[in-house]
Structures are given as C-alpha cells and as structure tokens.
Amino acid sequence: MNNSDAVVIDGLRVRRGRREVFDGLSLRIPRGQVIGLLGPSGCGKTTLMRSIVGVQRTHGGSVEVFGEPAGSRRLRRVVSYGTQGSAVYTDLTVRENLRYFASVAAAPRSDVDRVMRQVGLAAHAQQTVDDLSGGQLNRVSLGAALLGAPELVVLDEPTVGLDPVLRAELWNLFREIADAGTTMLVSSHVMDEALRCDRLLLMRDGRIVADTTPQQLLADTGQSDAEAAFLTLIRRDEGEHRETRRSRREEER
C-alpha cells in the first residue's frame, strides 16, 4: 500500500439481488484530489461508493481506506458520504439542518458556521430549506458531508438536476476543498463533468474502462469533448472484449 493512496480496492466482488455488479474490481484512488467517478446509470457507481464507505455487503476481495478495512470504526470520522438524492430536512433552516447533522456526526457545534461559510450559505443560515434554490439545496447536502472535517468525502451525484452554471460552481467548490487536502470522490452520469476532475474513473457495466486524467482521456481518444471520448473508449473496450472472448474460445478448442 502506497500511503499516498486514499482507497485501494483489490478483486472486489459484489452481488446485488441476482446480479453480479462487480466481478473482481481493482482500483486505487490517490489522496487530496478531485476524483470523478463517471458512467451511465446502472454501471455501479453507487455500489462502488457504498463499498468504499463500508455500507455495502461484499462477496470477495478487499477495500481499504487509508490503510484500514472499509467501514471500520477508525474510519467513522475520517470518511463522509453524501448519498444520491438530498437527505436534508426541507422544513428546517440551513443552520438547523447542519446543527442536526453535526450532532449525528459528533462534530463540534462550531463546525456549523465554518461549513456554512465554506459552502457559501452563511447569508442563508436562517432560511428554510424549502425556500432555497436547487443549487443552494445541493450545497446544504455538501455542507452536511463536510461537518467534522473528514479526509475522504464521497458524494453520489451531487450535481444532478442542476443547470450548467450551478454545476460549475459546485465543481469549483470541490476543487477548493480538495486543494485544502481532502480527497473528494464525486460521481456523475453527466460526461461533461469528467473534464472538471483531477483524475477520472470511467465505469461501464461494473468495470473501470479508464483510470485517467481529463487531458490524457482527450489525448488518448483524439476527441475534444468527454462524451465523444467516452464513446470511443467504449468501442475500443468492446473490441478488446470480443478479442478476449475469441481467444478464450480458441484456447478451449
């Protein structure tokens, strides 16, 4: 294990229902960067995040976070998880929500003001969440995930439903947080967001089809946007898969 890695996954197997979501997945996530986990709906992003946070039942392989098994007690204060969809209380104010989540996370109360400033909601502290705009609402969820100063923040589709300007604002905020040393693992099914990360994990059908950087992705595929680059990779990946299946069949003969 390299101590610059936040997460090391080796041979992970996960079944959900009758479906094998991961059949031996391996990857590493470096510390202190914004890592984008990008891929279409159903590819396994949420399952991977749940495995890293330690709330997913797994069926083989290992997931280590900062050198500890995922979900272990020592990681409780170190790792935070913003689930898909908003989990805040719409009838409470911004401050009340964050106070509540601070008490659940056993974070100091003083954290509430720090976090509100960090996510740009200090001026909205007394506002009921119901009255916030979409972008502000997403920032309340982000604020909740930042309470207690975690070292790894896992955010599942935090920009979903936002217009491009608000999405860009949130990604800028992720960048600021990562610059201060926190590892940010952020999922999205919107390919354009791929270009905003330091590193990219492109996922499809339970497999990582690329572990790369935005620059490298565009250079490797000769494309100028992420969506086209992803399609190029998928075509290549399918070609390789056909090749592997064919050579396996030939070996079996």
Note the residues at the interface with ligand ADP (CB under 6 A): 16-17, 19, 21, 39, 41-47
- Which of the listed partners (ligand ADP, Mg ion, none) does 146 bind, with a CB threshold of 5 to 8 Å by partner kind? none
Check: CB of residue 155 under 8 Å from CB of residue 182: no
> Smallest distance, Å, CB 47 to Mg ion?
8
Query: Which DSSP state fits 212?
Result: E
- Which of the listed partners (Mg ion, ligand ADP, none) does 148 bind, with a CB threshold of 5 to 8 Å by partner kind? none
Interaction of residue 47 with Mg ion, rule CB under 5 A: no
Cα dist from 173 to 59, 129, 142, 143, 195, whole Å: 36, 20, 10, 11, 15
- Which of the listed partners (Mg ion, ligand ADP, none) does 242 bind, with a CB threshold of 5 to 8 Å by partner kind? none
Contacts 24+ apart (CB under 8 A), 54-60: 54/79, 55/81, 56/14, 57/14, 58/12, 58/13, 58/14, 59/13, 59/14, 59/15, 60/11, 60/12, 60/13, 60/24
Rank residues 40 and 69 by Cβ distance to ligand ADP and give the closer one: 40
Reading the block at residue 206, the tokens are 């339970």
Stretch near Mg ion under the rule CB under 5 A, chosen from 38-46, 64-72, 74-82, 131-139: 38-46
CA atoms within a 13 Å half-sphere pointing along the CA-CB vector of 228: 8
Check: CB of residue 97 under 8 Å from CB of residue 146: no
In the list 33, 46, 188, 221, the residue contacting Mg ion (rule: CB under 5 A) is 46
Stretch near Mg ion under the rule CB under 5 A, chosen from 24-32, 40-48, 89-97, 200-208: 40-48
Rank residues 43 and 116 by Cβ distance to ligand ADP and give the closer one: 43
Check: CB of residue 86 under 8 Å from CB of residue 138: yes
How close are the terminal C-alpha atoms of the chain, in Å? 40
Rank residues 83 and 93 by Cβ distance to Mg ion and give the closer one: 83
Considering only residues 88 through 107, tell me which ones interact with Mg ion, judged by CB under 5 A: none
Contacts with 68 (C-beta within 8 Å, 6 or more apart), sequence order: 74, 75
> Smallest distance, Å, CB 25 to ligand ADP?
12
- Which of the listed partners (Mg ion, ligand ADP, none) does 42 bind, with a CB threshold of 5 to 8 Å by partner kind? ligand ADP
- Which of the listed partners (Mg ion, ligand ADP, none) does 120 bind, with a CB threshold of 5 to 8 Å by partner kind? none
> Smallest distance, Å, CB 162 to ligand ADP?
18
Q: Is the dihedral of CA 120, 122, 124, 128 positive or negative?
A: positive
> Smallest distance, Å, CB 249 to ligand ADP?
27
For helices 226-252 and 214-221, angle between their N-to-C axes, nearest 10 degrees: 70
Provide the binding-site residues for Mg ion, judged by CB under 5 A: 45-46, 84
